[in-house]
Amino acid sequence: MIAYVTFGADDLAAAERFYSAVLPDLGFTLKTGPEGLSYLPRAGGAAPDFYVKPTFDEAPASAGNGTMVAFEAGTQAEVRRLHAAALAAGGTDEGAPGFREAYGPRFYVGYLRDPQGNKIALFSSNPDEPGRNG
């Protein structure tokens, strides 16, 4: 199951105009913040969250820079296993599995690029596992 999709944008106002002309009709609500735009499926919606944000490395956004698809795993061990398997299958490490201070205390994530350079995330937010603070 795809959990969320992130696209990079250099002009958030233009992005908001464009996506707000389409996504509300498809069942998304918009939440804005300093980190960018968050289009969230309405209650009961099955679509993944869709984010539009400046790129993390501050280089211009492109089809590959700032674009990421995230896949949800069931456990932190599964994140580690799948991250290692992806590296062994020709992927490139973009961030070893672990907790990140910028995200919630249960968001355990590893980042990779596929052989073409597309960025993916593997994550788990399993409430039955220890969080970042223990």
Query: pLDDT digit string (tens) for 12-26?
Result: 999 999 999 899 989
CA-to-CA separations, 63 to 31, 55, 60, 68, 86, in angstroms, rounded: 23, 11, 10, 10, 21
The dihedrals phi and psi of 3, each to the nearest 5 degrees, come to -95, -45
pLDDT per residue as tens digits for the range 114-129: 988 889 999 999 999 9
Overall pTM > 0.85: no
| Token pair for 15 | 């992005």
pLDDT per residue as tens digits for the range 31-78: 999 889 999 998 877 889 999 999 989 999 987 788 899 999 999 999
How buried is residue 115: exposed, middle or buried, by Cβ count under 10 Å (0-12/13-18/19+)? exposed
| Average pLDDT rounded to a whole number, residues 2-19 | 93
Give the pLDDT of residue 28: 94
- CA 124 to chain centroid: 12
Point out which residues pair with 113 in neighbouring strands: 92, 119
How buried is residue 101: exposed, middle or buried, by Cβ count under 10 Å (0-12/13-18/19+)? exposed
Q: Is the torsion defined by CA of 55, 60, 64, 67 positive or negative?
A: positive
Would you identify the CATH topology of the domain 73-134?
2,3-Dihydroxybiphenyl 1,2-Dioxygenase; domain 1 (3.10.180)
pLDDT per residue as tens digits for the range 89-101: 999 999 999 999 9
